[in-house]
């Protein structure tokens, strides 16, 4: 009974000793360092902190979900990475606790208690029998040790004298500094790696916001106060505007970080190469802080940040700052050709009523320059001019994204207005090519399109056509004319492929080829007749036909009209004018952990230097008086670099032999 507490205490002490030994073991430290190295490789290869939609596009839904669960999109702030860092701090601290006292003690120990048998067992050992006196040998030993950089201690024994020399004591200090450096760097990484943010999330104190809300409408549970220790976020500030918050991308949403001051972008400037590509950009910033006697003004550019009160403000990017746009909305259906002028700003949502249906125009971006590869071998790039990017959202909430260029571009000798369209960011833009008329506009194209939607005009023109080459009774002729008009309607709705599909559905197999040829001829004649009518109304003399340029326009316009059914918008928006406003993209970081990381890196460099370039070396000179004189034993040992040390020992041995030998 009396031994049970003692046994429990002993068992607990043994368990604690095993735990300390495990935490301080080199195997564990190497394993953790390898894990961190793998994580660093992942964080380098896989671009971090991008919008989740980019990762879905790149990896697909399955791998996106898997990588998200593993935290690979923000490796350095993931829970498992921070856990490894924490465990490495514990392991390295335990190693320091176990070994640092012995290492520091060994730095001061000259091993003056070494025995003669121990010294003889070292590989670098040599002995002499000398006729010199004890005093002479001691004096020579001290001088040679000192000459070769060894500090020495003398110990008189029973009938012998031992001179113990040592240099490179800082090698052991190098081990201590290296381990301390790892601890400091890891603690700095924990501070700057959002470890506190992770803990607050686990405690339910914060949650990410996924809705697109103005900063002042974001709820408090998704806001971080000025007391937040470390963060890295971004904010886009238009010229002459200021902000006292920034946004931190976090998981599948964002957090709003409050600042103890406000940042104003007084002016933003960007320089371009002749091709139009950005060359450099910079911002004139003003810091407004109640703690300052007057606002702080400074210009920042890429790689030249503003450092204020522990906050680093970087010039990261630029974007549109709410440019004012004027658009012409051309209807793409019906026989009316009246366009409507609209005014909006980038970032605004404009409610529209088009053909008795509700639509929302969401303007997302304006670009002054669009740099594309050039078709000219003498030029690498070409500037396609300004463009506007927007979405058209219908009453069901479904949207298509558009990219419309302001300036026509040339394609195979013909000028076109380009309008790109896609259903999701995962797709590439598919372009509608609207040909430019003789006046440099799109009026002729729109007149042609709307004339094809005018059934009265089509019936009049159909009556003038002689597609079959023979006369028909009036009743049959009227039906045939109606069929021609319906055929044009099918073409407008589904293009030539729709016409062919209709033939395949309604015509027997043995007659499909003949009917298809007839339909194609009918459509060509009707399209041509409508086009000539449009030209005639413009005042163009078409009695002798049209020239090559107008014929090319007809082909391009007909091709564009055949694809309008896939365009996805009831109107075509033409950008006519703009007032450009720019915004400076700033990245603001607060990283107090760097105050530990930088000294840690310096300690790591110093520690590695001491370990590899200042190895600990020891020399012993054992001599005793015998009947024949003095017997001297010179022995040496080094912790590392035994080959170099052997050469150094041989040199010292030669010096002893040259001075003391008769």
Q: Residue 133 maps to which CATH number? A: 3.30.310.80
User: How far apart are the two ends of the chain, measured CA to CA in Å?
Assistant: 76
- Please report which confidence band the pLDDT of residue 221 belongs to, taking 50, 70 and 90 as the band edges: very high
Element (H, E) at 517: helix 512-538
Cα–Cα separations (whole angstroms), residue 236 to 212, 321, 323: 15, 8, 14
How far apart are alpha carbons 234 and 589 in whole angstroms? 9
* Top-confidence residue, 238 or 488: 238
Residue 282 and residue 361 share a domain: no
Task: Identify the residue with better confidence: 434 or 250.
Answer: 434
pLDDT for the residue numbered 75: 85
Q: How far apart are CA 227 and CA 417, in angstroms?
A: 53
Instruction: Examine the pLDDT at 105 and tell me if it is beyond 50.
Output: yes
Q: Are residues 184 and 156 in the same domain?
A: no
**What pLDDT is stored for residue 110 in this prediction?**
87
523 within some domain: yes
Mean pLDDT calculated for residue range 532-545: 87
Going by C-alpha positions, the residue among 576, 579, 578, 333 that lies closest to residue 440 is: 576
Answer whether 577's CB lies under 8 Å from 326's CB. Answer: yes
Q: Which of 378, 403, 438 is the last residue of a domain?
A: 438
On average, the pLDDT of the chain sits at 86
Q: Clarify whether residues 467 and 486 are in a common domain.
A: yes
Say yes or no to pLDDT of 264 above 80: yes
Same domain for 269 and 350? no
Q: Is the pLDDT of residue 532 over 60?
A: yes
Partnered with residue 350 across adjacent β-strands are: 361
563 & 455 share domain:
yes
What is the pTM assigned to this prediction? 0.68
How far from 20 is each of 25, 84, 88, 179, 183, CA to CA, in Å? 8, 17, 13, 16, 17
Q: Is the pLDDT of residue 99 over 90?
A: no
Please give the tally of structural domains in the chain: 5
Helix (H) or strand (E) holding 528: helix 512-538
pLDDT at 109: 85
Looking at residue 344, what is its pLDDT? Answer: 95
Residue 346 within a domain: yes
Q: What pLDDT score does 468 carry?
A: 47
**Domain end (from 544, 573, 602):** 573
Residue 563: pLDDT band (50, 70, 90) is: confident
Confidence of residue 475 (pLDDT cuts 50, 70, 90): low
- Averaged pLDDT, 168-182: 87
3-state secondary structure 384-426: CCCEEEEEEECCCCCEEEEEEECCCEEECCEEEEEEEEECCCC
Rounded to an integer, the average pLDDT of 550-573 is 90
pLDDT above 90: percentage of residues in the chain: 40
> Does the CA dihedral 146-147-149-150 come out positive or negative?
negative
Q: What is the pLDDT of residue 7?
A: 62
- Distance, CA of 486 to CA of 463 (rounded, Å): 14
For the ranges 186-200, 352-366, 464-478, the one whose mean pLDDT is highest: 352-366
Is 385 found in the same domain as 485?
no
Specify whether 82 is located in the same domain as 135: no
The range of the structural domain enclosing residue 655 comes to 119-168+617-660
Lowest mean pLDDT: which of 18-22, 114-118, 445-449? Answer: 18-22
> What is the predicted pLDDT for the residue at 30?
87
Cβ-contact 563, 493 below 8 angstroms:
no
Any domain includes 113: no
Q: Judge whether residue 207 has pLDDT over 60.
A: yes
Q: What is the pLDDT of residues 319-346, one digit of tens each?
A: 999 999 999 999 988 766 678 999 999 9
Highest mean pLDDT among 186-195, 284-293, 457-466, 527-536: 284-293
Domain-located, residue 241: yes
Residue 295 has pLDDT above 70, yes or no: yes
Write down the pLDDT at residue 12: 61
Q: Are 416 and 556 in contact (CB under 8 A)?
A: yes
181 in the same domain as 51: yes
Taking 80 as the threshold, does the pLDDT of residue 217 lie above it? yes
369 class by beta-carbon count within 10 Å (0-12 exposed, 13-18 middle, 19+ buried): middle
Give yes or no: residues 212 and 303 share one domain. yes
The answer to the question of residue 421 being in a domain is yes
* Within-domain flag for 611: no
What percent of the chain shows pLDDT beyond 70? 95
Angstrom distance (rounded) from CA 246 to CA 215: 8
Q: What is the pLDDT of residue 472?
A: 41
Statement to judge: residues 257 and 217 lie in one domain: yes
Residue range 570-577: average pLDDT? 94
pLDDT score recorded for residue 143: 94
pLDDT at 154 over 90: yes
pLDDT at 425 over 90: no
Structural domain includes residue 535: yes
How sure is the predictor about 473, in pLDDT bands with cuts at 50, 70 and 90?
Answer: very low
CA distances from 634 to 160, 620, 639 (A): 13, 6, 17
538: left (phi over 0), alpha (psi -120 to 50) or beta: alpha
Q: How much is the average pLDDT of 485-492?
A: 81
Asked whether residue 412 is assigned to any structural domain, the reply reads: yes
The dihedral through the CA atoms of 130, 136, 142, 148 has a sign that is negative
Q: Which tens digits make up the pLDDT trace of 604-654?
A: 999 888 888 888 899 999 999 887 788 999 999 987 767 888 999 999 999
Q: What is the pLDDT of residue 247?
A: 94
* Statement to judge: residues 523 and 641 lie in one domain: no
Predicted confidence at residue 526, as pLDDT, reads 86
Judgement on whether residues 185 and 162 belong to the same structural domain of the protein: no
């Amino acid at each position: 009974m009396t031994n049970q507490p003692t046994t429990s205490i002993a068992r607990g002490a043994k368990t604690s000793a095993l735990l300390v030994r495990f935490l301080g073991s080199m195997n564990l430290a190497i394993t953790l360092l390898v894990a961190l190295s793998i994580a660093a490789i992942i964080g380098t290869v896989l671009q971090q902190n991008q919008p989740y939609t980019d990762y879905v596009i790149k990896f697909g839904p399955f791998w996106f979900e898997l990588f998200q669960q593993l935290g690979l999109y923000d490796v350095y702030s993931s829970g498992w990475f921070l856990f490894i860092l924490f465990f490495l701090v514990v392991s390295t601290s335990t190693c320091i606790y176990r070994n640092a006292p012995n290492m520091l003690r060994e730095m001061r120990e000259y091993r003056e208690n070494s025995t003669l048998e121990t010294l003889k067992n070292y590989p670098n050992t040599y002995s002499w029998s000398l006729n010199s006196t004890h005093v002479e040998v001691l004096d020579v030993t001290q001088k040679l040790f000192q000459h070769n950089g060894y500090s020495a201690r003398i110990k008189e024994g029973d009938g012998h004298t031992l001179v113990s020399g040592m240099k490179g004591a800082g090698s052991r200090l190098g081990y201590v500094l290296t381990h301390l450096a790892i601890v400091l760097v890891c603690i700095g990484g924990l501070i700057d790696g959002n470890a506190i943010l992770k803990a607050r999330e686990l405690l339910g104190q914060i949650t990410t916001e996924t809705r697109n809300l103005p900063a002042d409408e974001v709820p408090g549970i998704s806001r971080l106060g000025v007391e937040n220790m470390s963060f890295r976020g971004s904010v886009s500030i238009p010229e002459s505007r200021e902000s006292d918050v920034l946004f931190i991308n976090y998981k599948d949403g964002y957090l709003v970080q409050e600042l103890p001051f406000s940042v104003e972008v007084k002016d933003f400037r960007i320089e371009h190469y002749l091709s139009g590509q950005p060359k450099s950009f910079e911002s004139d910033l003003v810091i407004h802080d109640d703690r300052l006697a007057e606002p702080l003004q400074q210009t920042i550019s890429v790689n030249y940040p503003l450092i204020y009160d522990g906050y680093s403000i970087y010039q990261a990017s630029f974007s549109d700052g709410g440019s004012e746009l004027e658009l012409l909305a051309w209807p793409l259906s019906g026989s009316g050709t009246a366009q409507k002028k609209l005014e909006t700003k980038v970032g605004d949502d404009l409610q529209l009523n088009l053909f008795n249906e509700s639509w929302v125009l969401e303007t997302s971006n304006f670009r002054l320059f669009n740099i594309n590869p050039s078709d000219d071998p003498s030029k690498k790039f070409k500037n396609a001019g300004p463009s506007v990017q927007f979405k058209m959202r219908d009453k069901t909430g479904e949207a298509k994204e558009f990219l419309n260029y302001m300036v026509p571009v040339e394609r195979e000798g013909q000028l076109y207005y380009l309008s790109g369209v896609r259903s999701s960011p995962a797709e590439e833009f598919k372009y509608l090519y609207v040909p430019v008329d003789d006046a440099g506009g799109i009026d002729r194209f729109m007149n042609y399109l709307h004339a094809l939607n005018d059934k009265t005009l089509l019936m009049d023109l159909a009556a003038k056509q002689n597609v079959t080459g023979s006369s028909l009774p009036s009743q049959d002729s009227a039906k045939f004319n109606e069929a021609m008009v319906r055929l044009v309607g099918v073409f407008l709705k589904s293009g030539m492929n729709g016409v062919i599909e209709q033939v395949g559905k309604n015509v027997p197999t043995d007659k499909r080829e003949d009917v298809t040829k007839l339909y194609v001829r009918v459509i060509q004649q009707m399209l041509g007749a409508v086009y000539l009518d449009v030209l005639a109304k413009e005042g163009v003399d078409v009695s002798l036909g049209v020239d090559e340029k107008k014929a090319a326009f007809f082909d391009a316009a007909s091709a564009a009209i055949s694809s309008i059914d896939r365009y996805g918008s009831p109107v075509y928006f033409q950008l006519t004018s703009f007032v450009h406003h720019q915004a400076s993209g700033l990245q603001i970081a607060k990283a107090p952990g760097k105050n530990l990381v930088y000294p840690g890196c310096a300690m790591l460099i110093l520690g590695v230097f001491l370990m590899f370039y200042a190895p600990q070396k020891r020399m012993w000179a054992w001599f005793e008086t015998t009947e024949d004189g003095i017997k001297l034993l010179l022995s040496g040992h080094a912790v590392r670099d035994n080959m170099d040390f052997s050469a150094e020992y041989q040199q010292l041995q030669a010096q002893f032999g040259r001075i003391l030998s008769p």
